[in-house]
Amino acid sequence: MNDKLTPLREQIDAIDAQILDLLNQRAKVAQQVGHVKAETNAPVFRPEREAQVLRGVAERNPGPMGDTELQTIWREIMSACRSLEKRVTIAFLGPAGTYTEQAAYQQFGTAVDVLPCSSIDEVFRATEAGTAEFGVVPVENSTEGAIGRTLDLLLHTSLSISGEVSLAVRHSLLTGTGNMDGVTAICAHAQALAQCQIWLNNNYPDIERRAVSSNAEAARMARDDHSIAAIAGERAGVRYGLGTVKANIQDDPHNRTRFAVIGQLKAGPSGQDRTSLALAAPHKAGSIYRLLGSLARHNVSMTRFESRPARTGTWEYYFYVDVEGHVQDEGVAKALEELQGNAAFFKVLGSYPVSLT
């Protein structure tokens, strides 16, 4: 047995030495890139370039390594290289252990400084003030729909969306003991309670449900008080030392949440981009039809159309529209120019590379 293993391990050691050498070669080039950027005051983080590198890895991958696993490794390589140019600070909807934290690492890798914030408003404030270069906030959930507060704040912020992250959201029922003995309340964010309501109705119809500020906060409460069960991701469970009563209790097995990366940066075109817009239509017959007609005429595909009350008490709405392509793409530019002329309110929230997952 050992005789067979020894030469194989020697091969791995030799390959590791090459990987180590190549990684440091890559890091030195990234440092040079950093010097060039510093001379011109150019942004360190370039999401369009990182998206291209990650797509290229999957396209060129001959296997047996999986595309997703390689992309995870490359994300960390780029994160480490980037941190040699400059370490960026990322604000996110905390506390530690939330899905938003996971989304932040998914976008930037782990060689970043993080600033957990207690509300979506605080993420916007910290990023607008420059305390963090980027912020990460939830935008919509495939079961429960839009995160209203994020949409409201996007309307008037000076920040742009420079990235999107889509994560599979799986909820577990967690307690300090790993069972439900003595549990009198199930705590979670209101969104998570809503995403698990059928399962809760079927299994624990009589236990009180209590909405708290985040699932991670519920996990922290469950750690300190064994009369409380939390609904949260396994990540939060591990972080707070909880036992799993039942995993995957979300009503929709395909439950996903989409997050936006916000910051001063406007991402360049990566070749596979999306553009988010906020619009209001004038109070005239056919005005929405005219707005959307501009997209159709220039062959621009719409991937999302969402309305939200303008909060004027007059049944006026803002429309949140996502289209395929980048504002610098010719068709998109023409469509938006035309659309802007017909809109009562028009704002490009940002163009950014399409999420890998």
Instruction: Tell me, rounded to whole angstroms, the distance of Cα 131 from its chain centroid.
Output: 20
108 vs 240 by CB, closer to ligand ISJ:
108
Sign of the C-alpha dihedral computed for residues 240, 245, 251 and 255 taken in this order: positive
Give the nearest distance from C-beta 117 to ligand ISJ in angstroms.
23
Part in contact with ligand ISJ (CB under 6 A); list of ranges 77-85, 86-94, 173-181, 327-335: 77-85
11 to 40, contacts with ligand ISJ by CB under 6 A?
30, 33
Cα 199 from Cα 179, distance rounded (Å): 17
33 vs 137 by CB, closer to ligand ISJ:
33
37 vs 246 by CB, closer to ligand ISJ:
37
Q: What is the residue type of 204? A: Y
Q: What is the residue type of 258? A: R
Helices marked H in the chain:
2-40, 47-60, 67-85, 99-108, 120-128, 148-156, 190-195, 197-203, 215-224, 234-239, 287-297, 330-342
Does residue 78 bind ligand ISJ (CB under 6 A)? yes
What b/e string do you get for 128-148 counting C-beta neighbours within 10 Å, with b at 16 or more? Answer: beeebbbbbbbbbbebbebbe
Does residue 82 bind ligand ISJ (CB under 6 A)? yes
Part in contact with ligand ISJ (CB under 6 A); list of ranges 46-54, 209-217, 241-249, 288-296: 46-54
CB atoms inside a 10 Å sphere around CB 339: 23
Among 51, 54, 75, 81, binds ligand ISJ (CB under 6 A): 81
317 to 346, contacts with ligand ISJ by CB under 6 A?
none
Give the nearest distance from C-beta 262 to ligand ISJ in angstroms.
17
Largest interatomic CA distance in the chain: 82
User: How many residues of this chain bind ligand ISJ (CB under 6 A)?
Assistant: 11
Does residue 50 bind ligand ISJ (CB under 6 A)? yes
Contacting residues toward ligand ISJ, per CB under 6 A: 30, 33, 45-46, 49-50, 53, 78, 81-82, 85
